[in-house]
Amino acid sequence: MAASILKVVGIAKSFGGVQALKGVSLEIDAGEIHCLAGENGSGKSTLIKVISGVHEPDAGSIEIVGRRLSRLSPMEAIALGIQVIYQDFSVFPNLSVMENLALNMELMDKRALMNWGRARAIAAHAVSLIGFEVDLDERVENLSVADRQLVAICRALLHDSKLIIMDEPTSALTKKEVKALFAVIKSLQSRGISILFVSHKLDEVFEISERFTILRNGENVAAGSTEELDHRTFAFHMTGREFAEASYKSDRAPGPPVLSVKGLSQVGSYEGISFDLAQGEILGITGLLGSGRTELVETLFGISSPDSGSIEIAGREVRMRSVKDAIALGIGYVPSDRLTEGLFLPQSIERNAVIGVLGRLCNSLGLLNRRAVAELMSKWIAELSIAAKDPSLPVKTLSGGNQQKVVLARWLASELSVLILNGPTMGVDIGAKYDIHALMRELASKGLAIIIVSDDLPEVLACASRILVMRDGAFIQELEPATTTESRLGELSTGVA
Amino acid sequence: MQSTVKPAIPAKALAGRDQNLLRLLVMLVFVFGLMTVLRPNEFATLADFNSMMRQFPEYGIMAIGISLTMITGGIDLGVVGTANLSAIFAAKFLIGAVPQGAPPEQVLPYLAAAVAIALATGLLCGAFAGLLISRFRIPAILATLGTQQLYTGIAIGITNGRPQSRLPLLYSTIGNTEFFGFFPLSFVIYCAIAVGIGLMLSRSRFGTCMYMLGTNAKAARFAGLNNASIIIRTYMVSGILSSVAGLIMMARANSAKADYGAPYTLQCVLIAVLGGIDPNGGFGKITGVTLAILILQFLSSGLNMFNNISNFYRDVIWGGVLILVLVFNRLFSIRAERRAVRRSMA
């Protein structure tokens, strides 16, 4: 063993004056599971693209299986046994599993006509390699995210891969699916395949990998054996900042509930939901995808109507027919899918932030007061430390964390009594995550009532003053964060002890 | 804290957006220059300018209407139908109500009423289309293809397809007024509308909401915008603009007819796209649309001066220009996107 399968040294790459990589090195041994960690913008993706031949480096050397290469094209990288599984898996959703698996092989062999019998044989062989049980004729769009990923892995295996690079493979998976994926990764390792596992989740890095490399601002900041790593050093290397996070406890005397939900039910989504929420509280709701958590909070924001039960705001029963009604009642909502529900991606940062308060920024003629808009914007950029060079740029040019801060800014200007955040730090890097958590605590201490919906259990434990676990559309348990653990929460939400 | 934040509208944004306007301006100068060189004695003479100012407002105003609906992510193919139906109602009213040989001061109130009838018709026509799109969730292109057919059908039905002429003379007299003996009323109306709508888009709350809705209807809903109301109001504005165009056509032809201006629909879509209105919604400006109108008007007036280019080729030219512009815009937006990403990383 210990023959290195990939060795890159001193890779530099810049894009139009921006130095994305400043002399990065990475070495992966045969049959090793190596973790590449770093925040958004640290250069992880660029490095992967250099290794897979998509980008040509400005400087540095690449050595694959002992062969030193000056230039590398994507086709050569594949021929040398390097496969990348991107976050979107690059599968064709409208084709069947079989077609997805066999198409590439057929194309590579330059055949003009499909031989369906052979395609089936290829596909059956591919899934058998990792013992993946799936209907070969099922369309890929009907599969779960985890299964789609397995299809992509099987496809990679068909090409006699020596190194499989997985770009944040767990970001959309449930705990259980992550476990299953890890088993697959281990089995690949036992076949002598090396894995480069890209992640910014520490727990996963610990669990799966033997060695790690951490990048920050396009430079190597740490590398070594995973055993030498702990939470604090990991977070420090990733961000260059020291963090201390204590659990949140409201220091207010418990007042009357701001929001009170009684026996709320929606057929097929959730049933018999009751809870109270007081000023200064941060209520954590956790549960798996499909537990009804998103449907519940969307009802509280007027997106859908409940079939029975009641919602009271400040002791008065209310009916919300639209989002507008909910906002008028002082409810704000940060949706779970920032990209499709939260933001207008190609529009400017400024427009995205002020859309909710346009009415207040108009002069007596009904025209927008541009100076007021710009002033408000610079105030938010400063207060939320949004890393925006220019508020007129499209919001999609920001990193995930900064995008989420823009969504939050929209609500901070409104007069809110309840703020609901659904998965507020999904796909957000560590630094921004701490910023968002700190902001939540600050808002709560000023008297806002907050609901945070998340399946990031450490996050729920760190932020919430009270936790409700949701499973199959119902609340099954209420917990105090001080007296519970991550594993207990995990058991409750999955129902698996 | 960020110290690089600039207040007000940063110059970069203007430059980025105005790339499109710059391209249009270059194109305009090119077409203008080409025609001037090829037809120095006819093109760009005072008389020619005057005739161009008479021609473009009627379709230009409809192009603005279509542009608005495209900004919200839809399209209004019913503008010509709405224009003709509005004009026919106004004409029917005038023919029926104004006594023969009445003096001008007596006719004037009738004219005002006829204009009001036309505008109300346009408003209702637009509201109906908006209702189909927002409440019944019919794709805009199908809904307005339907309304176009419906309105034209009604117009044919109530007129038996015949032109409604014998309007009071005063209508076309007023309609063909020229300010300073040079600027036709229709041109002045166009300018007023372009400025007004431009201001609405860039500075009003409603305008911003239109852009946001056109970018991402789902996010608009989550941000608390009333999508249905924005859509209905947008098509209402488009309908009113169409009826204004109908009134102008009626003044020019001194009559109203169900099938006036039939080729305008495609031409207006072409103008909107050429003018930089994003067919996917969310982007575009009236300045661009106006430049596009001028480019097409120069082209069309110029081509008219060539006796050996048949009118039949005009469709070929229009269609070709539309496809070229679409391809070009696509290529350009890919480049602009890359640049924006790079700039944000800088």
Residues of B in contact with A41 (CB under 8 A): 345
- Summarize the confidence of residues B281-302 as an average pLDDT: 92
Q: What is the ipTM of this complex?
A: 0.82
Query: What is the number of CB-based contacts under 8 A between chain A and chain B?
Result: 129
pLDDT value at position B337?
A: 67
List the domain boundaries for chain B.
48-305+314-325
- Summarize the confidence of residues B288-302 as an average pLDDT: 91
Does pLDDT of B13 surpass 50? Answer: no
What would the two tokens of residue A16 be? 């139009």
| More confident call, A348 vs A169 | A348
- Identify whether the C-beta of residue B54 lies closer than 8 Å to the C-beta of residue B187: yes
Indicate which of B17, B200, B216, B329 best probes the interface with A, i.e. most A CBs within 10 Å of its own CB.
B216
pLDDT value at position B340?
A: 61
pLDDT tens-digit profile of A420-452?
999 888 777 778 888 899 899 989 988 899 999
- Summarize the confidence of residues A451-474 as an average pLDDT: 88
Residues of A in contact with B201 (CB under 8 A): none
Distance CA B48, CA B96 (A): 37
Pairing of strands A418-422, A331-334: parallel
* Residue A283 bridge partners (DSSP): A451, A466
Supply the DSSP symbol for B137. -
Is this prediction's pTM over 0.80? no
A257 phi and psi, to 5 degrees? -65, 140
C-alpha pair distances (Å), B320 with each of A440, B59, B232: 56, 19, 33
In this complex, do B13 and A324 lie within 8 Å of one another by their Cβ atoms? no
pLDDT value at position A256?
A: 84
DSSP labels, A438-450: HHHHHHHHTT-EE
pLDDT tens-digit profile of A148-170?
888 888 888 888 888 999 888 87
Question: How many other CB atoms are there within 10 angstroms of residue A88's CB atom?
Answer: 11
pLDDT tens-digit profile of A374-401?
998 988 888 888 888 788 888 988 888 8
H/E/C letters for each residue in A208-225? HCCEEEEEECCEEEEEEE
Does pLDDT of B5 surpass 70? Answer: no
Distance CA A104, CA A75 (A): 12
In this complex, do B344 and A398 lie within 8 Å of one another by their Cβ atoms? yes
In this complex, do A393 and B346 lie within 8 Å of one another by their Cβ atoms? no
Question: How does residue B3 score in pLDDT terms, banded at 50, 70 and 90?
Answer: very low
Question: How does residue B333 score in pLDDT terms, banded at 50, 70 and 90?
Answer: confident
In this complex, do A359 and B6 lie within 8 Å of one another by their Cβ atoms? no
Distance CA B317, CA B27 (A): 15
In this complex, do B13 and A358 lie within 8 Å of one another by their Cβ atoms? no
pLDDT value at position A1?
A: 43
Which of the residue ranges A72-76, A488-492, B42-46, B167-171 has the most confident prediction, judged by mean pLDDT?
B167-171
Distance CA B163, CA B149 (A): 18
Closest approach of B208 to chain A, Cα-based (Å): 8
Does pLDDT of B55 surpass 80? Answer: yes
Minimal Cβ distance to A324: which of B7, B226, B342: B226
pLDDT value at position B17?
A: 53
Percent of chain B with pLDDT over 70: 92
Closest approach of A46 to chain B, Cα-based (Å): 13
Does the domain spanning B48-305+314-325 belong to CATH 1.20.1440? no
The length of chain B, given as a count of residues? 346
pLDDT value at position B268?
A: 94
pLDDT value at position A330?
A: 92
Residues of B in contact with A392 (CB under 8 A): 9-10, 12-13
In this complex, do A368 and B13 lie within 8 Å of one another by their Cβ atoms? no
Minimal Cβ distance to A347: which of B5, B199, B212: B212
Question: How does residue A89 score in pLDDT terms, banded at 50, 70 and 90?
Answer: low
pLDDT value at position B215?
A: 95
Does pLDDT of A30 surpass 80? Answer: yes
Distance CA A369, CA A360 (A): 9
Does pLDDT of A411 surpass 70? Answer: yes
For B14, nearest residue in chain A (alpha carbons):
A392
pLDDT tens-digit profile of B113-166?
999 999 999 999 999 999 999 999 999 999 999 999 999 999 999 999 999 998
Three-state SS for A12? strand
Residues of A in contact with B341 (CB under 8 A): 397
Indicate which of A389, A406, A410 best probes the interface with B, i.e. most B CBs within 10 Å of its own CB.
A389
Distance CA B27, CA B292 (A): 9
Minimal Cβ distance to A347: which of B4, B204, B211: B211
Our measurement of the distance from residue B62's CA atom to the centroid of its chain's CA atoms, rounded to an integer in Å, reads 3
Closest Cα partner for B12 from A296, A256, A387, A388? A388
In this complex, do A367 and B204 lie within 8 Å of one another by their Cβ atoms? yes
In this complex, do B204 and A387 lie within 8 Å of one another by their Cβ atoms? no
C-alpha pair distances (Å), A311 with each of A296, A300, A319, A329, B250: 12, 8, 7, 12, 57
Does pLDDT of A265 surpass 60? Answer: yes
pLDDT value at position A357?
A: 85
Does pLDDT of B12 surpass 60? Answer: no
Residues of B in contact with A390 (CB under 8 A): 4-6, 10, 12-13, 343
Name all domains of chain A by residue range, CATH numbers in brackets. Answer: 4-239 (3.40.50.300), 257-494 (3.40.50.300)
For B199, nearest residue in chain A (alpha carbons):
A367
pLDDT value at position B285?
A: 94
What would the two tokens of residue A101 be? 């698996």
Minimal Cβ distance to A397: which of B9, B226, B344: B344
Region of poorest pLDDT, from B144-158, B221-235, B297-311: B297-311
| More confident call, B83 vs A74 | B83
DSSP labels, A289-307: TTSSHHHHHHHHTTSS--S
Does pLDDT of B15 surpass 50? Answer: no
Residues of B in contact with A303 (CB under 8 A): 221-222
Residues of A in contact with B212 (CB under 8 A): 344, 347, 351, 355
| More confident call, B277 vs A90 | B277
pLDDT value at position A2?
A: 54
Question: How does residue A370 score in pLDDT terms, banded at 50, 70 and 90?
Answer: confident
In this complex, do A345 and B216 lie within 8 Å of one another by their Cβ atoms? yes
pLDDT value at position A16?
A: 67
Closest approach of B8 to chain A, Cα-based (Å): 5
Question: How does residue B344 score in pLDDT terms, banded at 50, 70 and 90?
Answer: low
In this complex, do B13 and A327 lie within 8 Å of one another by their Cβ atoms? no
C-alpha pair distances (Å), A278 with each of A247, A420, A460: 18, 13, 18
Question: How does residue B343 score in pLDDT terms, banded at 50, 70 and 90?
Answer: low
Closest approach of B209 to chain A, Cα-based (Å): 8
